[in-house]
Amino acid sequence: MKAKLPKGMGGGAPGNMQGMIRQAQKMQAEMERVGQELEEKDYTASSGGNAVTATVSGKLVLKSLEIKPEVVDPEDIEMLSDLVVAAVNEALRTAEKDRNDKMEAVSGGLNIPGLF
């Protein structure tokens, strides 16, 4: 006697699997395209009322750092350091959030380790 599979199981599995593979390949290609677009973008943030402005690339590399002369006080290097760190970190957070948001949109919210 041959066992019967529940309704909706079996029969179309090979075609269904192929469709899933094609869909996954499309999603991967779209994620690669979006990833390349993101790497070409720049993200800018500032701190201290625009006293320090940092720009990072989509590859999360610091590209430029602008410091207004009036914020440079030889007696208070610590404050300048804090402003630089704050501006750079905010630019990096912005870039990372943009990447996560765009990749989540492409993947439909799936969290697939190693894809991004």
The reply to whether 1 falls in a domain is: no
The structural domain count of the chain equals 1
Residue 113, domain member (yes or no): no
The answer to whether position 5 is within a domain reads no
Structural domain for 62, as ranges: 13-107
pLDDT in tens, 49-106: 999 999 999 999 999 999 999 999 999 999 999 999 999 999 999 999 999 898 888 8
pTM (two decimals): 0.70
| Residues shown for the chain | 116
Identify the CATH number of the domain in which residue 32 sits.
Answer: 3.30.1310.10
Residue 44 lies in a domain: yes
For residue 45, which of 90, 79, 93 has the smallest C-alpha distance?
90
| Residues near 40 by beta carbon (within 8 Å), at least 6 away in sequence | 57, 58
Question: Which residues make Cβ contacts (< 8 Å) with residue 68, sequence separation at least 6?
Answer: 50, 51, 52
E-strand ranges in the chain read 42-47, 52-57, 62-67
Report yes or no on 103 lying in a domain: yes
